[in-house]
Amino acid sequence: MKLNDATFQLSVHHLRQLPDEDLPEIAFAGRSNVGKSSLLNALFNRKNFVKVSSQPGKTQGLNFFLIPGTCHFVDLPGYGYAKVSKQMQAHWGALISSYLENRRQLRLVVVIMDLRHEAKQQDRELLLWLKQRELPSLAVYTKADKLSGNKRAQMAAALDAGHGLNPEKRVIFSAATKLGRDQLLAKLEHCLSPS
Ligand SMILES: Nc1nc2c(ncn2[C@@H]2O[C@H](COP(=O)(O)OP(=O)(O)OP(=O)(O)O)[C@@H](O)[C@H]2O)c(=O)[nH]1
Ligand SMILES: [Mg+2]
């Protein structure tokens, strides 16, 4: 995957703005502020290419990044941020769910969680919702740099149990140290390869 050639393509706020190319898409979802945009920067090996903020609710709209000839990465707005108005939350929710539900090009939804937190209801609901729709998902436990080795293994096991995930189906990651980057890229490439 030629990540060095990646470019930002567009930010989608309405379904009619979705690109009509046939390229496969990989979407990155998760709670607000969990580190979705930082994970993309780590994959692209670039700082601040995707806008990151310590304030939740930074990413608005569905941001499409083009990896020429290969795929689109789609950075989704985070869910579960209470300070965004109910109306905005409803609009985002509707936009994201209709995108996930109807998008023919979608190959994989990467569901990003904070390794320091216990299994959250919203993540569980998203994973279940994806499973019911037979949409492939991959869990990533990020911010691993914030925990010691022992604690990492302990929290990862708790998240696996909380979400009923096989350790084969998730990656422990850090955008700060790039831990797990190669493993994650291998899994993304695998899902794009024709079966
Ligand atoms: N130490 C550490 N900090 C991280 C990591 N990933 C993200 N952060 C920090 O977490 C905060 C949120 O990161 P973002 O990448 O903007 O999170 P997001 O999920 O895209 O947030 P929204 O777009 O608001 O939903 C920023 O302050 C990042 O620097 C990580 O792996 N390690
Ligand atoms: Mg973001």
Sign of CA pseudo-dihedral 18, 126, 53, 142:
negative
**174 CB near ligand 1 (under 6 Å):** yes
- Measured from the alpha carbon of residue 29, the closest ligand is 1
Residue pair 141/156 in contact by the 8 Å Cβ criterion:
yes
The ligand that comes nearest to the alpha carbon of residue 141 is 1
Q: Which two tokens stand for residue 5?
A: 């050639």
Q: Which atom of ligand 1 is nearest to the CA of 56?
A: 24
pLDDT in the model for residue 84: 60
Q: From the CA of 146, how far away is ligand 1's center (Å)?
A: 12
Residue spans of the domains in the chain: they are 3-192
Q: Give the pLDDT of residue 58.
A: 61
Decide: 176 in ligand 1 pocket, CB within 6 A.
yes
Query: 67: alpha, beta or left, given left = phi > 0 and alpha = psi -120 to 50?
Result: beta
Fold of the domain built from segment(s) 3-192: Rossmann fold (3.40.50)
Which residue is closest in CA terms to ligand 1's atom 23?
Answer: 59
Q: Using an 8 Å Cβ cutoff, are 70 and 4 in contact?
A: no
- Closest ligand to 39 CA? 1
In a structure prediction context, what are the per-residue pLDDT tens digits for the chain, which is 195 residues long?
A: 889 899 999 999 899 999 999 999 999 999 988 999 899 999 999 988 888 777 766 667 899 999 999 999 999 988 766 556 666 667 677 888 899 999 999 999 999 999 999 999 989 989 999 999 999 999 999 999 999 999 999 999 999 999 999 999 899 999 999 999 999 999 999 999 876
Atom of ligand 1 nearest to the CA of 52: 16
The tens digit of pLDDT for each residue in 86-139 reads 666 676 778 888 999 999 999 999 999 999 999 999 899 899 999 999 999 999
Residue 7's pLDDT is what? Answer: 95
Q: Which atom of ligand 1 is nearest to the CA of 146?
A: 1
Distance 178 CA to ligand 1 centre (A): 13
- At 105 the pLDDT is 97
pTM over the 0.95 mark = no
Write down the pLDDT at residue 94.
84
